[in-house]
A and B are shown apart, each in its own frame.
Chain A
Amino acid sequence: MKIGQKFTTKNVNNDDNMVPLINVVFLMLVFFMVAGQIRKADPIPVVPPYSVNEARAATDPNVEIVVGVDSTLYIDDKFIEINRVQAYLEQRFLEDSNQENFWVQIKADGGIPLEKLRPIFNQVRLAGLTKVSLATQLERGNP
């Protein structure tokens, strides 16, 4: 019978079944490529404090200080002792070509007590740097 023959020949090529799959996968690929931002992961997991503040950084920070909830300190992905921060920052500032726009970002966990942050701010101040920013994330829902 002719009808039966028609159906059997169509199922020979298995790749035909993959076309819808590829369509979906391509759509997802395009979505992630366009909507996502590729960024370096933090050396330790940090949950920044929530805030209604919406300001975004215009440029990338020259130095990024990551402070974990147990107040471990990482600068530019390297573990560092608190008393060496000032020297490191001074060295980075001297090496930089664009000293006018040199700024430091402090990415601290929201649960960290403020007295643990004070020595870090003090070290930055001792290094003579004044442009410092705290990283936050936008609060969702009811503030």
Chain B
Amino acid sequence: MSLNLSQPKRKNAISLTPLIDVVFILLLFFMLTSSFVPWRIIDTPLSVATDKPKDIAEQENLILTLKSNNNQVWFEGGAIYFADQARFEQLVMDHNNGVFMIKAEVGVTLQTLLHLADQLKLHGAKSVSIANAFAMTAESK
């Protein structure tokens, strides 16, 4: 009796279909869970209320006021448009030893506030403070 021990060699021992099933599931998982937009953060350090207010008179504080979301900021009684690059450059050059404090009136959005802070930073302002815009004011309490 002769045993046929040598099995015929099959080209594909494993079918590829289950492999693709698994790989597709993995692919779907990674496509749905991955995000490509990394978050950035802006530190807004909050000052704890103390009895003695710090003496910050040494530095000049410039108060810029946002009144609405129409891309303009009020400074010393006049409006400056965000698009007015020359005016911003002049403003930053004249007062760069001070702190640019941004205040906001009712209705101003977070995006407008950051837009203004960006404009000041892009023109080389050393110190921009947005914390004042988040401080509780008398009328918002």
CB distance from B107 to the nearest CB of A (A): 5
Distance, CA A13 to CA B12, complexed state (A): 9
Chain B residue total in the interface (Cβ 8 A): 50
Q: Which of B44-52, B57-65, B71-79, B91-99 contacts A (4 or more CB under 8 A)?
A: B44-52
Determine if A32 and B104 form an interchain contact, defined as CB atoms under 8 angstroms apart: no
Main secondary structure of the interface of B (DSSP, over half): mixed
Chain B residues positioned under 8 Å from A117 (CB to CB): 110, 134
Is the C-beta of B113 less than 8 angstroms from some C-beta in chain A?
yes
Contact in complex: A110, B110 (CB < 8 Å): yes
CA distance A135 to B43 in the complex (A): 9
Interface centre among B30, B33, B117 (most CB of A within 10 A): B30
Are B40 and A118 in touch, CB under 8 angstroms? no
Q: How far is the CA of A95 from the CA of B43 in the complex (A)?
A: 23
Task: Judge whether A3 is part of the interface by a CB distance below 8 angstroms.
Answer: no
Separation of A52 and B109 alpha carbons in the complex (Å):
17
Q: What DSSP secondary structure best describes chain A's contact surface?
A: mixed
Return A40 CB to nearest CB of chain B, in Å: 9
Chain B residues with CB below 8 A from A99, complex form: none
Say whether A51 contacts B109, CB under 8 Å: no
Knowing A54-B40, A57-B41, A114-B110, say if A130 contacts B133 (CB, 8 Å).
no
* A132: interface (CB < 8 Å): yes
Q: Which of B11, B106, B109 counts the most chain A CB atoms within 10 A?
A: B109
Q: Mark A96-137, 1 if CB is under 8 A from B, else 0.
A: 000000000101111111110111011011001111111111
The 3 closest A-B CB pairs, nearest first, are A36-B34, A32-B30, A110-B111
B contact set with A: CB distance below 8 Å: 11-12, 15-17, 19-20, 23-24, 26-27, 30-31, 33-49, 104, 106-111, 113-115, 117-118, 121-122, 133-137, 140
Provide a sorted-by-A list of 8 A–B residue pairs whose CB atoms are within 8 angstroms.
A39-B35, A52-B118, A54-B40, A57-B39, A125-B48, A130-B45, A136-B39, A138-B40
